[in-house]
Structure 1
């Protein structure tokens, strides 16, 4: 595969974490509300997306948002198509911040069936992947959710994820496979054991040199995914915060030394639109440092 060598090395070996800046239509109002921008502050989707773009631009341009601690960032499709200071976002991330750009490509989830939520069909996937390559995107991210330890459901989620991953690889991109396990599941630990076995099986079936990344819920059993991190076809295993507070997520991450963070809500915790630039930079810098320290522990 013709991956960018500097980006590939950074994702495989770089010290730091991946920032998840990819809230989409459904989760945007909540993300904005936590930032102090309420639904009454914008009128319609266009103004809402403008507000969230402004928030993301402020994060990306902040003093501490550089490759020293943030090695990658996952973007929403609209963000990829947008600009910051007159420069396409993916280009600015890599050229000005040294941060490897990824694109969230999933289009939401199906209703729960067999204890899981599968990916909805992604229309015009080939066109989306071609645009991503053209924009300088390194990889993609696609999220499903596992709610309970149902063997058939988990096998179906993982099979669907790897089918999509093969399309992404064929386009010259590195997929982040994300079968999230609901942290509130009564059978979380059991679901994770089933997930581990399914991931191992599907990874073993990949051709030599076909690289993927895994984004997984911090496991109940510390070190559960260590063997996956060492797999020849795995570039990196990253952890999602999944609703844990920053402190909880960082503590759990510290017990899984072969995972690095890919947090969204934990990254933006405590940030507010009314903060001065100095206050904003200081608060974000503290979050970045906490997540960085947990990622390199």
Structure 2
């Protein structure tokens, strides 16, 4: 078993440095929407390879921007296709860490299964062991995997958390730190009740983690302020991060400020307002304002 090095620079950055996580991991299903918001219409590509090349150009523009650096950003979550590409002639994950001092994290899930018992489990992840080995060789520090909770169904929520921790065990064994992401839909009519059930399930699993194993949690911003404080303070939770979940950047930041010790892991809220048509100066100024607002909300 490969044990995570708690003295690695990346691990210590998470423990000691203020900042947030940039989520740049839109995959096949969400890429067209991300490009559309960026000002690139669907007639700009004719196949998946052209689409992924366009989104890589967008991500490259973000990552190489002067304002995108390790002073305010702890880590960036990448889609597998991005890990396999280069930025300025350097493999993306190595560019992030060696040039920007931003910890690289890889999305490993393959999407969501159909809804059952008020939740969507992860689809099976074939060749996970091979992917984790490749990730480690590519300089990846951790992973991310997402499930979705829509209703306060105790059986469904337990299945989500059980599955997340089952996969997390394999990721930890490969020497990586998993981000466990059981997202609660912000439009759920039972959001607060679902949060209470989720908190109980997560606490149970964390209580059984051996001392040398670490996870991160990526959670929907809760209805009750500081609801996840116990996880922020848990010795084996390296970081609790929050997804924006469809909230505007302004609302996500406002909710985040009220949850002390939790930091952002925003995707759409991070890139809100960025377009392909902006000049380099306009693009960097907009990104800088976005990064600063999210950073400020993350250090409460």
TM-score (normalizing by structure 1): 0.99
Shift, 1:11, TM fit: 1.3
Aligned to 1:263: 266
Instruction: Say whether 1:294 aligns with 2:297.
Output: yes
The equivalent of 1:50 in structure 2 is 53
C-alpha separation in 2, matches of 1:258 and 1:225: 9
Check if 1:128 corresponds to 2:145.
Answer: no
Task: Give the Å deviation of 1:13.
Answer: 2.4
Which residue matches 1:224?
Answer: 227
Matched, 1:29 2:32: yes
SS in 2 for 1:262: strand
- The one of 87, 90, 108 equivalent to 2:90 is 87
Are 1:239 and 2:217 an aligned pair? Answer: no
Residues of 1 paired with 2:182 and 2:137: CA distance? Answer: 27
Q: How does 1:1-297 map to 2 (within 5 A)?
A: 1-3=3-5, 5-297=8-300
Instruction: Give the Cα–Cα distance (whole angstroms) in 1 for the partners of residues 99 and 163 of structure 2.
Output: 36
CA shift digits 1:75-127 (9 cap, x unpaired)? 00000010011100000000000000000000000000000000000000000
Pairwise CA distance, 1:2: 3.8
Query: Which ranges in structure 1 are unaligned for 5 or more consecutive residues?
Result: none
Root-mean-square deviation over aligned CA pairs: 0.7
Report the CA distance between 1:224 and its aligned residue: 0.6
Cα-to-partner distance string for 1:109-163 (whole Å, 9 max, x where unaligned): 0000000000000000000000000000000000000001000000000000000
In the TM superposition, what is the alpha-carbon distance from 1:24 to its structure 2 partner? 0.1
Distance 2:172 2:232 in 1: 18
**Separation in 2, partners of 1:94, 1:31:** 24
Contact 2:261 2:299 survives alignment (8 Å)? no
Structure 2's unaligned 5+ residue stretches are none
Q: Partners in 2 of 1:21 and 1:179 — Cα distance? A: 18
TM-score by length of 2: 0.98
